[in-house]
Each structure stands twice: as C-alpha cells, then as structure tokens.
C-alpha cells in the first residue's frame, strides 16, 4: 500500500516521502513539475525607445526571466496550447509597460517594480530584481506581452528551480572490530556529518540507522570510505522515495504538485481516448 509523508513544507520547498509507490509514476510527476505546469512570463517585447547600453534582444531576454505571480493566472487565462496559433485572442495574454528615464541622477537602477501590468492580479514575484542601469539622459520605453507557457517550451515558464527524486538513505555499521583509536577517529569524522548519528553509533557500535533524507550523505560516505573502512556502509532503500522541489515563487508548492498531477492525468486521459478505438477495432478483428 502506497504511503505518503510530508518531510518539509514551507513557502518555497515541499518534500514528500513515498513508500511502495511506483518509481515511474513519481518520476512522471517530477518531470511534470518541471515541464508541464503553466506559469505566466513575458513572451514578446515591442521597443518604442531604448538608448541604454543594452541591445533590445538582451533587455528582452532579461525581462523574460522575471517570474510573475501566477496563482490567479492559471485559472484566468487560456492554456498555452489553445493560444499557440492565435495568441492575440481574448484570454490568451495581458500587457505590461515600462517607461523610465533618468533625468537627474548619475545612475538609475530600473527594477521589476517599475513594470506596470494591466492585470492587477499579475505582478513580479520579486519587485527588487534589477533590470538595467540607466545613465543620465537614457530612456527605455517598451510594451511587453505576458502569456501562460510551460517549462518544456522554455525554462522561464518552469515554476521550480529544482525537482528531484531520490532514495531514502540508511547507514549500516559494525564498529566492534575497530581499535579504540580507530573508533574515536571514525566517530569524530561522522560527527562532522551529524553529531546525533555519531552519538547513536558510538553508543550501540552495531546496527542500522535511517538518515535524514534531505541532508546530503557525501561527507558520511567519505568517512565510510576513508576513515571507518568497511565497518560503515551507506545504502539506500529502493521502496522509499523522496520527491523534493523548490518553487521560484510564481506558484505555491502545493499548487505546483496538484497542477502537475492534473496535467499528467489529462495527458493520460487523452492517450486513452486515442487508444480506445484502436483497441476496440483490434478486439473486433480478433473475434471475427
């Protein structure tokens, strides 16, 4: 029976531990989190004036990488597939405007907060992202179009900075054969990884411990290979998997995982609808 447990949940990170869950299903969810969840980002930019040091293309690229709050947008705007052929149709996009000029200071830092978006529900996740520095007399005027997109089209539409699927680590140890000096050296090394783990190992000398799945085991593996010898082994439980991802802020982690599963289900439903008549035709052919 599949079991799920929340290991960490905050504004940006969600980590879940699954027991006895199919690996291919969890990996499909991990990939959907990166590639299939729609978010809002700047797609095209029309420059009216730009006498700054940055070329139009470089400035447009910077604008495209600014994350925008998309919680309302995913329900308000039409899906990217529906707007691919006719992006100008109603419900496919919204506009953002930037009109700044440095009249007084030696340098003026233009921030994401200077963008004026038509939709009041859409705003930069991080208003203090610097876009460009204008010298005195320089001016930028532009019109940008924002639309929903997916990470498989361009990474700027991906809602996460990282999405991983890893095994639950454990450590097996038998320190009874070590000399007193070697034991102290081994425990001292492991304490640099985790003092509580080192304390438990020193107290029992033999056993097995489940490790913190969100903590890298590289230091512990170094101790096992170079200090403790074959007396300490780091292994991984194949029936326990950790799904961990970090949001860039355009959507909450809970919104991301539910949208990923929704998108995956829709793909499976579409696949089944295509496959059903083929299977039915094949069955009829066999019966005849």
pLDDT 10s digits, 159-208: 999 999 999 999 999 999 999 999 999 999 999 999 999 999 999 999 99
- Taking the C-alpha atoms of residue 249 and residue 260, their distance in angstroms, rounded to an integer, is 16
Q: 283 pLDDT band (50/70/90 cuts)?
A: low
Q: Which range among 34-38, 81-85, 89-93 has the greatest average pLDDT?
A: 34-38
Cβ–Cβ < 8 Å for 11, 141: no
Q: Which residues of 175-184 are buried (b: 16+ CB within 10 A; e: fewer)?
A: beebeeeebe
Q: 45 pLDDT band (50/70/90 cuts)?
A: very high
Q: Superfamily assignment of 40-157 in CATH?
A: DNA-directed RNA polymerase, insert domain (2.170.120.12)
- Taking the C-alpha atoms of residue 232 and residue 170, their distance in angstroms, rounded to an integer, is 11
Cβ–Cβ < 8 Å for 35, 152: yes
Other CB atoms closer than 10 Å to residue 259's CB: what's the count?
20
pLDDT 10s digits, 128-164: 999 999 999 999 999 999 999 999 999 999 999 999 9
Which pLDDT score is estimated for 288?
41
Domain boundaries, the chain: 40-157
Residue 171: which residues within 8 A CB-CB, separation 6 or more?
Answer: 197, 201, 208, 209, 211, 220, 224, 232, 233, 234, 235
pLDDT 10s digits, 203-253: 999 999 999 999 999 999 999 999 998 899 999 999 999 999 999 999 999
- Taking the C-alpha atoms of residue 123 and residue 21, their distance in angstroms, rounded to an integer, is 38
- Taking the C-alpha atoms of residue 149 and residue 80, their distance in angstroms, rounded to an integer, is 5
């Amino acid at each position: 029976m599949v079991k799920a447990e929340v290991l960490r949940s905050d504004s940006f990170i969600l980590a879940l531990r699954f027991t006895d869950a199919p690996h291919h299903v969890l990996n499909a969810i991990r990939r959907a989190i990166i590639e299939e969840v729609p978010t809002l980002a700047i797609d095209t930019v029309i420059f009216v004036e730009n006498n700054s040091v940055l070329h139009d293309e470089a400035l447009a690229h910077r604008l495209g990488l600014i994350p925008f709050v998309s919680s309302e947008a995913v329900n308000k705007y039409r899906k990217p597939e529906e707007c691919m052929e006719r992006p100008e149709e109603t419900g496919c996009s919204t506009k953002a405007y930037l009109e700044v000029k440095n009249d007084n200071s030696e340098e003026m830092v233009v921030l994401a907060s200077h963008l004026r978006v038509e939709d009041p529900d859409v705003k930069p996740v991080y208003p203090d992202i610097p876009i460009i520095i204008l010298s005195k007399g320089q001016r930028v005027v532009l019109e940008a179009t924002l639309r929903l997109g997916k990470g498989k089209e361009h990474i700027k539409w991906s809602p996460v900075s990282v999405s991983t699927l890893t095994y639950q680590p454990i450590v097996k140890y038998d320190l009874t054969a070590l000399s007193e000096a070697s034991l102290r050296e081994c425990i001292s090394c492991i304490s640099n990884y985790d003092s509580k783990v080192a304390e438990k190992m020193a107290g029992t000398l033999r056993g097995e411990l489940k490790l913190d799945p969100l903590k890298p085991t590289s230091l512990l593996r170094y101790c096992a290979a170079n200090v403790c010898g074959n007396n300490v082994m780091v292994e991984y439980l194949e029936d326990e998997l950790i799904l961990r991802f970090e949001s860039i802020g355009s959507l909450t982690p809970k919104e991301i995982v539910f949208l990923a599963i929704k998108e995956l289900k829709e793909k499976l439903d579409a696949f089944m609808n295509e496959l059903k008549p083929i299977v039915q035709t094949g069955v009829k052919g066999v019966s005849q």
